[in-house]
Amino acid sequence: MSAMNNSVFSQKIYSFLLAAYRWYLQTPERCLNQAYDAAFKIKEIEDKHFNGNKIDSDSAMYSNSVMDYFESDLKKLLKIARMRLTELRASRWFLNEENQKAAQKAGIEYLNPSLVLEKLNFIDQVISKYTTTSDQIASNALVVTPPNLPVKSVISEENSLLVNTPTLPPKIQIPDLRKKPQPKGKTDTTGVLPRSILSTITRLQVELDPNSEKEVIQNFRQTQRRTIISIRFILLLIIVPLLTHQIAKAFVVGPIIERFRSTEQIQIFINSEMEEEALAKLEIFEEKLKFENLITKAPSLLPERMEAEISNKAIELAEEFRRESSNAIKNVFADIFSVGAFIWLLLVSKSSLAVLKDFFDNIVYGLSDSAKAFIIILFTDIFVGFHSPHGWEVLLEGVSRHWGLPANRDFIFLFIATFPVILDTIFKYWIFRYLNRISPSAVATYRNMNE
């Protein structure tokens, strides 16, 4: 009987290993089919809703909500297609001739090579339209490389064969304001005509261009979408960590902490400052009882009555500080969840982060010189000004109390003596290194206002 059970168990193990090995050998075909299905769905959306063009707000007139719906589907399908193509390359790297012979023995037939090349060519034609990243649709696309680029014969990484694939669309270049400009020679800085006349001629050419209205509308749409994406991303950066903190504190961390601190033998105070605060409140309560008894001219309280009142107040304070201690421990773990959610949101939203950076650059560098100087003075006075040590002290004490830590006065004073100085040095270096080059008039206005 045991021999029969062993044979049955061995057969099950063998069938399981055979199925796993068969699944491994079918990986290239499975990845190719899944990538092809994702590309086919993208092509179907293009043909049905965008007249065969790429999924873009310029291809069809839809509202922002509809475009967000299409773009979310596009991101998912592009991610699936690229991940499956990556798996296809990895599987073709590991599968050699011996694996192919084993697959033929196992009854697995590979696809026809011509069919493989046809599918890969179709996938390349679909996803090549979005190789500039799908979220670049909403970015500030103002500088574009000239059209009429030649079609190149490239080596397709998906099939490791020489095939003719369409040239990738030109990459959209976003001007980097931090990039140091190259020094210009005299021939670049001077010309036959004054710059004002040349700029006037250029402006007239733009106004007389029949396509200028279309370009203005397109730039307005891009700016509008960039603003919407930036504001939505800022709200997500604020709301998601706060919601994560509250949910983790109420439903994950809270029940665990309450379970371990439910016994009465547990320590009520997690630091000495809480204990001193409770004793001070108890002394104030006792003095208040005596004072009220004196001003009302009532008979003096008996020692038993006084002791009972103080005992009830002590129990109330103990319960209050037990909750505060538990709340401080909950805050530590809930903040870890909140920071994790914030970092995760930054990692999965790199394109939105780039749009947000471009949005802030346009806002900051679009301000007037007096507005820039006002913001600089306000920022420096708050964080590194004469009264800033008091603010840093209150902030550090609040953070210590939030986490249930004793406020270390030596650490607070050392932090106040070093960090604002370092921050002030960095800020002055930024003004000297970057702002003085980008907007020297703003720096001059800042110096005049600061004096």
Q: How high is the pLDDT of residue 81?
A: 87
For the four alpha carbons of 51, 57, 61 and 63, in that order, the dihedral sign comes to positive
Show the 3-state SS of 152-184: CCCEECCCCEECCCCCCCCCEECCCCCCCCCCC
Q: How high is the pLDDT of residue 239?
A: 95
| Per-residue pLDDT tens digits for 384-413 | 877 788 889 889 988 888 888 888 888 889
Cβ atoms 388, 427 nearer than 8 A = no
Q: How high is the pLDDT of residue 228?
A: 92
H or E stretch covering 143: strand 143-144
Q: How high is the pLDDT of residue 273?
A: 83
Q: How high is the pLDDT of residue 297?
A: 64
Would you tell me how many other CB atoms lie within 10 Å of the CB of residue 450? Answer: 11
Q: How high is the pLDDT of residue 198?
A: 66
Pairwise CA distance, residues 352 & 230, whole Å: 7
3-state SS assignment for residue 283:
helix
Pairwise CA distance, residues 325 & 395, whole Å: 19
Pairwise CA distance, residues 186 & 199, whole Å: 19
| Per-residue pLDDT tens digits for 50-81 | 888 888 876 666 777 778 788 888 888 888 88
Residues in Cβ contact with 423 at an 8 Å cutoff, skipping those fewer than 6 apart: 383, 384
Q: How high is the pLDDT of residue 167?
A: 38
Q: How high is the pLDDT of residue 189?
A: 45
Q: How high is the pLDDT of residue 254?
A: 85
Beta bridge partners of 143: 173
Residues of the chain under the 50 pLDDT cut: 133-190, 264
Q: How high is the pLDDT of residue 79?
A: 87
Classify 52 in phi/psi space as left (phi over 0), alpha (psi -120 to 50) or beta: left
Pairwise CA distance, residues 163 & 128, whole Å: 14
Q: How high is the pLDDT of residue 200?
A: 77
- Give the CB-side neighbour count of residue 309, counting CA atoms within 13 A: 14
